[in-house]
Amino acid sequence: MENLSHDYWYVFKLWKGGMAFHGGLIGVALAIWLYGKKLNKNFFEMADYVVPSIPLGLGVGRLANFVNSELWGKPTDLPWGMRIPFRCDDTTFAQNFRTLCENKGIETYTPALHPSQLYELLFEGIVLFIIIWFFARKPKPLMAVSGLFLLLYGVFRFLIEFVRLPDGHIGYDAFGWWTRGQTATLPMIILGIVFLVFAYKRNSINFKDKSKSK
């Protein structure tokens, strides 16, 4: 936010990083809209068709996060917690474990951590794919599939953020527990609910109109 306040073009400097999934979602939505215009299709006709495949891509991305040893969770006493080797000159991850660095030098291990990437692989990838796939098997009102995806992804991501470590250089946005990921995900939950309500409300109105015409 500080960079953005001094340079309004900062948001377009992709080589400086980005908004991760949330920024990617905006990019995909823009691509769907542009391609839909070319095919003379409604945006949600296109989006509802594409959405069921997205969780699989998300799952592969989270598996890559685990393999790359990034985006770890908070310390845990659970039996599947994992200790991670790290270097204290890591300017992001190591800031969460300054005391360990002070006591043990340049290279050390974290406490046992939640493998939050695997939680996200399970819920944002596998579980979300199964739910959306079964939901979309039969015709649904326009924008209902997109709405359910936004709602469920938002809920899963919001909850998993409670056990995920924020980047050390970012920290928490508020209350000592509210993360940047939750800030970015909350609008998705709200939009998902709005899309679902609007989709079924409009479908109900159309059904009543068809009944009257008979």
Domain boundaries, the chain: 26-71+116-213, 75-113
The stretch 18-45 carries a mean pLDDT of 75
Residue 169 is predicted with a pLDDT of: 66
Cβ neighbours of residue 148 closer than 8 Å, sequence gap 6 or more: 131, 132, 135, 192, 196
pLDDT band for position 211 (cuts 50, 70, 90) = very low
pTM over 0.95: no
Check whether 17 has a pLDDT greater than 70.
no
Residue 124 is predicted with a pLDDT of: 94
The full DSSP string for 81-141 is: -B--EEETT-TTGGGGGHHHHHHH-SEEEPPPB--HHHHHIIIIIIIHHHHHHHHHTS---
What letter represents residue 189's amino acid? I
Distance, in Å, from the CA atom of 69 to the CA atom of 61, rounded to the nearest integer, reads 12
Cβ neighbours of residue 116 closer than 8 Å, sequence gap 6 or more: 71, 72, 73, 160, 163, 164, 165
Distance, in Å, from the CA atom of 28 to the CA atom of 36, rounded to the nearest integer, reads 12
Label residues 132-141 b or e (16+ Cβ within 10 Å = b): beebbeeebb
pLDDT band for position 2 (cuts 50, 70, 90) = very low
The stretch 35-46 carries a mean pLDDT of 83
Cβ atoms of 133 and 149 within 8 Å: the answer is no
Taking alpha carbons only, the member of 85, 89, 106 closest to residue 168 is 89
In DSSP terms, 109 is beta-bridged to 85
